[in-house]
Amino acid sequence: MYSILCLLVGLLFVMNDNFSQQKFNISAYGGYSLPVSDLKGEFPSLSGNEKINFFFHPNYLTSSGYNIGTSFKYTYDSSAKGRLTAGLNFSSFSGKGTYTNLSYKNSFNIFTISGGAEFLLSSSSKTIPFVGAELTANFFSGKVEATGDTNFTANRKSESRFGLNINGGVEFKISKTSSVVLSIKYCISNMLGRKTESLPSGSGTNDVPEDPINFEAREIPLNDAETSFNKSKSIHHIQFSAGISFGFGGNVKKHKK
């Protein structure tokens, strides 16, 4: 028993000595996404045969979401604390509205390509906190389905916007080349590229028009730019995720100053 304990202690020291940073890291993750700002919203009260005008509703009527993705990181500096980052992420948000004569099921999706930098607050221990920022290209999709007295499906128009993510987290080393990563990210998905389409023919700007036929058959645009008939909308969300990271490419050689 004493020999086994000595062996385990020796292995721990060897592992700690080998917990240096790898040049390249690739990770896969998933988690919960919380919509905020105008991405979040409650379905409005309706009466009679009123329908929701999704074209000009003041928010996107989602309440919860999830995310999955992958990221690639390259350690570029001699202190092993600076990383260049790139990633792919898919976030999906949803909301439901149930009324006496109609039920809505709403989905709002964002596919994101990102690139940025990350700074490790410590690079020599098994617990490594980090902060970072990324520029993003965001591609939107989704649909609205209605069932009841009127059945229809309206797809959200495929559009793109540019934004910024600010993130932080902790990396827990579990071996020389692998880690468990917990992170939180604030995503601003439409900083640049906002626009609003002109009014559909025959439609009004009321939130709950009595006759939705004019917009049922059309794609639903983001309509996130300020106009005389539409308010500006901000598409933000908070992303909580957990994943596993694998390092390769050899240890980063730290230069003594």
pLDDT, tens only, 169-197: 999 999 888 999 999 999 999 999 999 98
From the list 87, 89, 43, the residue with the least C-alpha distance to 65 is 89
Q: Is the pLDDT of residue 68 over 50?
A: yes
Choice between 11 and 205, residue whose per-residue pLDDT is larger: 205
For residues 235 and 56, what is the distance between their CA atoms, to the nearest angstrom? 15
Q: Is the pLDDT of residue 257 over 50?
A: no
CATH number, domain 23-251: 2.40.160.20
Q: Is the dihedral of CA 54, 57, 60, 62 positive or negative?
A: negative
Report CA-CA distances (Å) from 94 to 6, 61, 65, 159, 186. 54, 8, 6, 18, 19
Q: Contact 14/227 with Cβ under 8 angstroms?
A: no
Q: What are the residues whose beta carbons fall under 8 Å from the beta carbon of 4, sequence distance 6 or more? A: none
| pTM for this model (two decimals) | 0.84
Exposed/middle/buried for 140, CB within 10 Å: 0-12, 13-18, 19+? buried
Q: Is the dihedral of CA 104, 150, 48, 54 positive or negative?
A: positive
Averaged pLDDT of the chain: 84
Region 50-76: mean pLDDT is 91
Q: Contact 65/93 with Cβ under 8 angstroms?
A: yes
For residues 156 and 222, what is the distance between their CA atoms, to the nearest angstrom? 8
Region 222-237: mean pLDDT is 93
